[in-house]
Structures are given as structure tokens and as C-alpha cells.
Copies of this chain bind each other. A is one copy, B any other.
Amino acid sequence: MSETETVQGPGIQPLEGEPVARVIVAGATGLTGALAARLLWRHPRLELVAATSRSDAGRRLDELYPRHGVPVTLSELRLDGAPEADAALVALPHGAAAPLVAELRARGVRVVDLSADFRLRDLETYERWYAPHPAAELLETAVYGLTELNRERLRDADLVANPGCYPTAALLALAPLAEAGLCGDVVVDAKSGVSGAGRGAVDFLEIAENFKPYKVDGHRHSPELAQELRELGAAGAVTFVPHLLPIDQGLLASCYVTLAQETGADELRALYEARYAGEPFVELVPAPPGVRDVRDSNVARVHVALDEASGRVLAFCAIDNLWKGASGQALQNLNAMLGLPEGEGLR
């Protein structure tokens, strides 16, 4: 897993001077792992030392993902070797991620885990929604990596649980309300493009010209969203329903909130403006966002309005599920952990 083995081809990585850290991407052939590798490959301050894959070791990443243009040969993941990595982005399925994370942590490697394995702080909840936890002892050390909410704690974190795509969008839409104690009952009607399900997961004929809800009896992002809303101070009932859009990338969360106390439209806007002032990746917009506005970017576009008829707050957040909803946020978190500007390598 040395650089000479894994990094080949037309060019070497365009670094500016000595890298701040040497980074592994584990599971680089899934959609999120491949994007993480691309972002690291172009990152001016971080060195991509290995991109691993069980199924495709030996193949070039740019053969699998021509658009990403990463001329790196995929390698088997071997921890008992050289790699001298400082950090890792782990993009394996839940269940498979935790044991690797544990090994990496044991060797002192700092980890951003893109799976669900360390998102739920309550073991019982995890095991009810997923499976027996392979590394439960690490749960309490993990920081929930919604960067905008936990920035302070990321700096010292050794293990960051990268949030799910749906909770990312919903929490960014709701955080200002929740933090201000205004968030009562909530309905989150969320819609995602097909890439949220991963490669090979959806037959073209099943979703082309179609649109439908799914997992209405309980999606795994539901307890994650509830946990974080509680953490922010929201106490109301939360309903979350995901829908599948006939597009590849893009996610919109439409949130309907009963206010815990009466608040005017101007106050609401002021609250959101104050909360997100200076945020590099949250844009407060005056009209409801479309998912295409944020495609292939780490930006979250948020719009808030008051529904006069019902008194409810309408809060919308559009993200690219692969970027801010997965790999982009993972890199934003890694930047924060390493003391780099959060936007480094993400523009």
C-alpha cells in the first residue's frame, strides 16, 4: 500500500508543498468512496496514499469512474504493511466498516466513517435498526460529523461519524429552530436521487418517469434524525418519509414545523441569517432551492418561510447527496479535524 504501488499513471498528485496528512480511502469503488478519492486526489494539502477495494484491487480508479479522472490503482486493504497513514475515510457498508475502523483506531489513524456504524450513540437503538455492533466500545468516542453543528468537537476528534444524507439536509433546515427552542412537531418529507441507493441498486425501468415514497414503515435515518433533533433541543414528534426521484444526484428535505412559540416571518429569517452567517457551505436563499442548484458541490441551500394559513414553518434544504450528503462533508470534517480551512479541496 505504498504510494509507488498505488499511485501510477499519467500524473502525480498536484500537492502544494509537504502534505498536512497522508490519507487512505477504504472502499473506493462505491459511489461515495470514489468521490472521496477524487476530492482527496485534487486536495492541495492532503496526500491520497491508498484507495482500497476488495473487489477491484489492481484496476485503475479512472477506468471505473472516468469522470473523476483519478489515475490511481486500487489496492487490497492491508493494515499490516507500510502505509504510514495519518487519516482514513472509510466508505464501507455498515457492519463492515466498524471492525476496520477499530483496527485503524488501534494504529492511531484518525477516521471519518461514512457508514452508519457510529452515528447512533445508543447501542440498543443501533442494534434494533441495524445488527449487532462489531465495535460498540468506540461508540462513545465518535463525534457526529455534521460540521456546522459540531465544529468545535471535530478539531480533537479521532473518530467522526459522517451523517446520513437525509439527516444532513433535514438538520440543516431545522437547526436554527431547534437551537432556539422553537421546534415543535416536525414532518420531514424528503426526496433523493438514485445515487443515494448506490450503484446497481435501481433498475432504470423501475424509476424512469416514476416517483414514489419508500420505507414508509421506518427508514434507518429516522432514529438518527430524531437523536440529533433531541440533542439540539427539539422535543416534538418527528415524522420522516423518504421518496425516490428519477434523477441521479440531489436531495431535498421539505420540513414542516409546528412552532413551540409564536414567531414572525421576519424573526424567522433573522434567526436563520444569524445562525448561518459566515458558514462556508450553507447558503440561505430567498426562494425555495432546486436540487440542481447544488449539484456537484458541497453547498447546502436553505430556505425558510412561514405558512400564514397554518402558522407552520416551512424549511427546505437542498444538497447533493453524494457531496454534502456524504463524501464532501467527510472531507469538510477531515479539514476541520486537521485544522485546515473547511473549504480546502472542496471548491
Residues on A close to B: CB < 8 A?
31, 66-67, 69, 185, 187, 189, 191, 194-195, 199-214, 216-218, 222, 226, 237-239, 241, 243, 245-250, 252, 254, 256, 258, 288-297, 301, 303, 305, 307-312, 314, 316, 318
Contacts and interface: CB of A to CB of B under 8 A. Distances in A.
A212 B309 contact: no
Contacts of A209: 209, 247-250, 292, 295
Given A187-B256, A246-B247, A314-B216, A204 B194 contact: yes
B248 A205 contact: yes
A206 B216 CA distance: 27
Contact of A200 (B185, B203, B249, B293): B203
State the copy count for this chain: 4
A290 B239 contact: no
Given A217-B305, A309-B222, A310-B237, A248 B204 contact: yes
Contacts of A218: 308-309
Contact of A199 (B205, B293, B308): B205
Contacts of A194: 204-205, 208
A202 B199 contact: no
B309 A226 contact: yes
A62 to B, nearest CB: 10
Contact of A66 (B238, B293, B311): B293
Contacts of A290: 210-212
Given A211-B290, A292-B210, A307 B239 contact: yes
A300 B199 CA distance: 25
A213 B248 contact: no
A301 B69 CA distance: 13
A312 to B, nearest CB: 5
Contact of A246 (B67, B195, B200, B246): B246
A254 B240 CA distance: 11
Contacts of A249: 209
